[in-house]
Chain A
Amino acid sequence: MAGYRYQLGQRTYRFKDLAGVMAKASPLRSGDQLAGVAATTAEERVVAQMVLADLPLTTFLNETVIPYEQDDITRLILDTHDRDAFEPVAGLTVGELRNWLLLESTDAVVLQDVSPGLTPEMVAAVSKIMRNQDLILVARKCEVITAFRNTIGIPGHFSTRLQPNHPTDDLNGIAASIFDGLMYGSGDAVIGINPATDNVAQTINLLHMLDELIASYNIPTQSCVLTHVTNTIEAIERGAPVDLVFQSIGGTQKTNESFGVSLAMLQEAREAALSLKRGTVGHNVMYFETGQGSALSANGHHGVDQQTCEARAYGLARVLDPLLVNTVVGFIGPEYLFDGKQIIRAGLEDHFCGKLLGLPMGCDVCYTNHAEADQNDMDNLLTLLASAHCQFIMGIPGADDIMLNYQTTSFHDALYVRQLFGAKPAPEFDAWLEEQKIFTRSGNSLLTDELSQRFAAMLPGGNANV
């Protein structure tokens, strides 16, 4: 491949290969600069976008960004590509795909049909020439519905992962955050703990607690302990009540090797979780987390920009039929996404790419204290994602994760979205909240004023009003 060139007036721009065009066309972010793949001028970036817009989509079937022989994700993407589904857009360029996606006649059904025909690289490419409003509008049209003990992704609904982390995994400390979250209507996507002590014994201990909680209160939701997939497989072998299998995944073989995972391992874990038959209304048993920058961080990016690597991770996720995919957008730090503007753009790109590839996308709308970002940036991203029909966000007491030391969305933030967009939790969970007298249908309020007797009674010292 001789590379790509573009004549702009007197100046000839050259790009060495497809990955080079993609990287230089990517909206500015610190991780691509750190990797040395970003455009060096603003003009070069737009020229790369023009080159990209003119590429036929078939280019991505004939040219790889990481060689087929070197990378199992490339092989997975090409080997599972659905030529029939691709047919309606097979004659389009990247620029024409953007136009087609924005057509009012391109609705949820049309998008679902074409989705298996789109590769992660095609989707990443078109995202690079889309403005934020395009990413929102098209993502909103995509419908992805998944289910386990409740149903996630129905239009008009918006779910939350209750994240009750505690720095020493103190069971009462975790339960205190769960109680707080439930009283604010959080937890329908999953009640998911990041364990501070990451071993099999601790995983099993926490799984039993969550299982008893969910069973005792008949909560239509699922649990997860976010430990390595090999720990979860072992927990299942030891009889632990596993609802969802968690794993962080990346978009290159080398990234996944650095996480200690492979497709075969994930398939084995999925089979093991399915064999437990713990889902009641559906059987999506996988929970994945991703995030731009992981490939560079693992030194496994092959000169591919971080947004394209991220989309490739979705290529892996979609063959495993997950309940939830969560892009943890601002966690990785300012060397990958420098400020609020870069975090917001990345969040919208990830949500769009995941949705278009048929995934149940949620977003950990978050930042660390060394990034140039604050609560206002998170409010902006949260509002934009909610308007794009993002499936779920995190819910944590007061937005402060005291174990992972970062800020994500709070229980209050989710209620802001419910007020603003009238979005309800998953229907089964919504009904439970009303039954338990946590949510109310009467008057203008979402939440009931009084703590119900059942929950008041479980407080240490009874219903002591402090």
Chain B
Amino acid sequence: MSDHQTKKPARHNEQHLHVDRWQQLRQFTAARIGLGRAGTSLPTSELLRFQLAHAQAIDAVHASLDSTQLIDDLQVLTYMNEPLNILSVQSEATERLIYLQRPDLGRNLSEASAYQLQQYRSDSPVDVAIVVADGLSATAVHKQVPPFLSALLARLTRANKAWQLAPLCIAQQGRVAIGDDIAEQLNAQMVVVLIGERPGLSSPDSLGIYLTWAPKRGFDDAKRNCISNVRHAGLTPDKAAHRCAYLMENARNKQISGVALKDRSDDAITDKLPLSRVFMLSAQCVGDNTE
């Protein structure tokens, strides 16, 4: 990683720069605090650091998914000692600019892909279809999907009740709801969509995971469970796989998903820090010297 990508503060030897003297607060947050200033404006180094992060986020949005590379990366994985059956499909959005302006097209399989999937349709329902979609960050898919899937398949292999998988579909120019279309074509009882999330400035490679029970075209998001911020600096692929396997098991047992299915795999993390431990509120700071 180059020097520019680190969380390093502006160089102290930059000329005409007022340095903020609270940079130790960066231990508490990844927010861009203590940047310093030139007059009241951003120091040059910080301005360029921001521009670089924005450029990376834009590149992540416009990067196309390299299906061949991804298939190569996923073909080393096995499930129940068998290699994965992987198919490549396309939404109705034919290119990126259309995809960005027409969310409706990204939710549907192209006619050719729908026809292709019918050839793989199972007569009796299969347990789950796993779908990989580029979404808004192909970068996230390339980085997070291989380790996530590896961890998820390992967990599914150990499940008490075996999971029967539909072919794994890699969808180009896909939105979350394309999974519903794919699951209908493949006759799957559940769909798990792994999709590149809208890239943030500090997180261009974050994956989202959406689980839907009994998926049908036209379902809205209230029917889905979501695991977001899957990346090495956020929810690690391994932890995400743990949570996903938990949700899959519960969705199958209760035959529901969405708001009705609560994620209790980890209790919601609320900060139980006593207020006196907040640095601005410790007794000494607010003028009460009883400490």
A interface with B by C-beta (< 8 Å) = 30, 33-34, 164-180, 183, 197, 199, 201-202, 205, 208-209, 212-213, 216-217, 333-335, 338, 368-370, 374-375, 396-402, 405-407, 410, 412, 415-416, 418-419, 446-447, 449, 451, 455-461, 463-466
B153 CB–A CB distance under 8 Å: no
Instruction: Show the binding face of B for A, using Cβ within 8 Å.
Output: 9, 18, 20-35, 37, 39-42, 46, 50-51, 53-54, 57-58, 60-61, 100-104, 136, 197-204, 206, 229, 234, 268-271, 273, 275, 277-282, 284-286
Closest to B40 in A: A415
Q: B35 near A369 (CB under 8 angstroms)?
A: no
How many angstroms from the CA of A375 to the CA of B48 in the assembled complex? 12
What separation, in Å, do the CA atoms of A138 and B39 have in the docked complex?
32
Say yes or no: B58 contacts A369, CB within 8 Å: yes
Inter-chain CA distance A368–B60, complex, in Å, is 13
**Bound Cα distance A459, B234 (Å):** 27
A402 touches B202 (CB 8 A): yes
Partner among A173, A202, A407, A457 whose Cβ is within 8 Å of the Cβ of B28: A173
CB proximity of B235 to chain A, nearest CB, Å: 10
Query: Across the two chains, which residue of chain B brings its CB closest to A174?
Result: B29
CA distance A173 to B58 in the complex (A): 27
Residues in A neighbouring B39, C-beta threshold 8 A: 419
Q: Can you report 13 A-B residue pairs in the complex whose CB atoms are below 8 A from each other?
A: A170-B29, A175-B279, A176-B28, A334-B100, A338-B101, A369-B60, A397-B32, A400-B202, A406-B200, A447-B37, A458-B279, A459-B21, A466-B21
Is the CB–CB distance between B33 and A171 below 8 Å?
no
- Which one of A173, A406, A447 has the greatest number of beta carbons of chain B within 10 Å? A173
Question: Assuming the A-B contacts A212-B281, A416-B41, A466-B23, are A177 and B271 also in contact, with contact meaning beta carbons closer than 8 angstroms in the complex?
Answer: no
From A171, A176, A369, contact of B273 by CB (8 A): A171
Known contacts A217-B286, A451-B22: A175-B102 contact under CB 8 Å: no
User: Is the Cβ of B270 less than 8 Å from the Cβ of A202?
Assistant: yes
Closest 8 CB pairs of A and B: A398-B32, A405-B200, A458-B285, A415-B40, A173-B29, A180-B33, A369-B57, A176-B25
B41 adjacent to A412 (CB under 8 Å) = yes
Asked if B53 and A400 make an inter-chain contact with CB atoms under 8 angstroms apart, the answer reads: yes
Complex CA gap A244/B23 in Å reads 31
B33 touches A407 (CB 8 A): no
Query: Are the C-beta atoms of A400 and B24 separated by less than 8 Å?
Result: no
Nearest CB of A to B118, in Å: 29
A168 in complex: contacting residue of B20, B101, B269, CB < 8 Å: B269
Complex contacts, B280 vs chain A, CB 8 Å: 175, 178-179, 213, 216, 458
Using a Cβ cutoff of 8 Å, how many contacts connect chains A and B?
Answer: 205
Measured between beta carbons, the chain B residues less than 8 angstroms from A167 are: 30, 229, 234
Residues of A within 8 A of B197 (CB): 405
CB pair A402 B200 closer than 8 Å: yes
Do residues B24 and A375 form an inter-chain contact, with CB atoms below 8 A? Answer: no
Closest chain B residue to A205 by CB distance?
B270
Residues of chain A within 8 A of B42, CB atoms compared: 398, 410, 412
- B278 adjacent to A171 (CB under 8 Å): yes
- In the complex, the answer to whether A369 meets B54 with C-beta atoms within 8 Å is yes
Is the beta-carbon distance between A400 and B281 smaller than 8 angstroms? no
A375 touching B54 by the CB < 8 A rule?
yes
Q: State in angstroms the CA–CA spacing of A419 and B201 once bound together.
A: 27
A173 to B20 alpha-carbon distance, docked (Å): 17
Which of these, B18, B41, B275, contacts A449 with CB under 8 Å? B18
In the complex, what distance in Å separates the CA atom of A264 from the CA atom of B129? 44
Question: Other CB < 8 Å A-B pairs besides A179-B22, A415-B40, 19 of them?
Answer: A34-B103, A180-B31, A205-B271, A213-B281, A334-B101, A338-B101, A369-B60, A398-B32, A398-B35, A402-B29, A406-B200, A412-B35, A412-B41, A415-B37, A416-B41, A447-B40, A451-B21, A460-B279, A466-B21
Contacts known (A197-B270, A370-B136); A335 close to B101, Cβ less than 8 A: yes
Chain A residues closer than 8 Å to B268, beta-carbon distance: 197, 199, 202
Q: How far is the CA of A405 from the CA of B31 in the complex (A)?
A: 11
Task: Specify which chain B residues have a CB less than 8 angstroms from the CB of A370 in the assembled complex.
Answer: 61, 100, 136, 198-199
Chain B residues near A216: list those with CB within 8 A: 280-281, 285-286
- In the complex, chain A residues whose CB is within 8 Å of the CB of B57: 369
Please judge, given known A-B contacts A368-B198, A370-B100, whether A419 and B32 are in contact too, CB under 8 Å.
Answer: no
Q: Are A177's CB and B281's CB within 8 A?
A: no
Q: Are A375 and B23 in contact (CB under 8 A)?
A: no
Taking CB atoms, residues of chain A closer than 8 Å to B100 are 334-335, 338, 370
Interface core residue of A180, A335, A418, A460 (most chain B CB under 10 Å):
A180
Of chain B, the residue at the smallest CB distance from A180 is: B33
Name which of A178, A217, A418, A466 has the most chain B CB atoms within 10 A of its CB: A466
A405, B271: Cβ atoms closer than 8 Å: no
Chain B: minimal CB distance from A333 (Å): 8
Most buried by B among A176, A419, A446: A176
The reply to whether A34 and B102 form a contact with Cβ atoms under 8 Å apart is yes
Q: How far is the CA of A170 from the CA of B206 in the complex (A)?
A: 20
A173: chain B residues at CB < 8 Å are: 28-29, 31
- By beta carbon, the residue of chain B nearest A338 is B101
Q: Is A176 a contact of B33 with CB atoms below 8 Å?
A: yes
Q: Which of B50, B101, B271 touches A398 (beta carbons < 8 Å)?
A: B50
Of B22, B268, B286, chain A has the most CB atoms within 10 Å of the CB of B22
- Whole-angstrom CA separation of A369 from B202 in the bound complex: 11
Contacts of B9 in A (CB 8 A): 466
Q: Are A180 and B25 in contact (CB under 8 A)?
A: yes
Closest residue on chain B to residue A368 by CB atoms: B198
Distance in angstroms from B63 CB to nearest chain A CB is 12
Distance in Å: Cβ of A357 to nearest Cβ of chain B: 30
- Bound together, the chains give a CA A170 to CA B54 distance in angstroms of 25
CB <8 Å contact, B37 and A412: yes
Contact of A400 among B50, B101, B136, B269 (CB under 8 A): B50
CA distance A361 to B40 in the complex (A): 25
Would you call B24 and A446 a contact (CB within 8 A)?
A: no
Q: Which of B40, B136, B284 has the most CB of A within 10 A?
A: B40
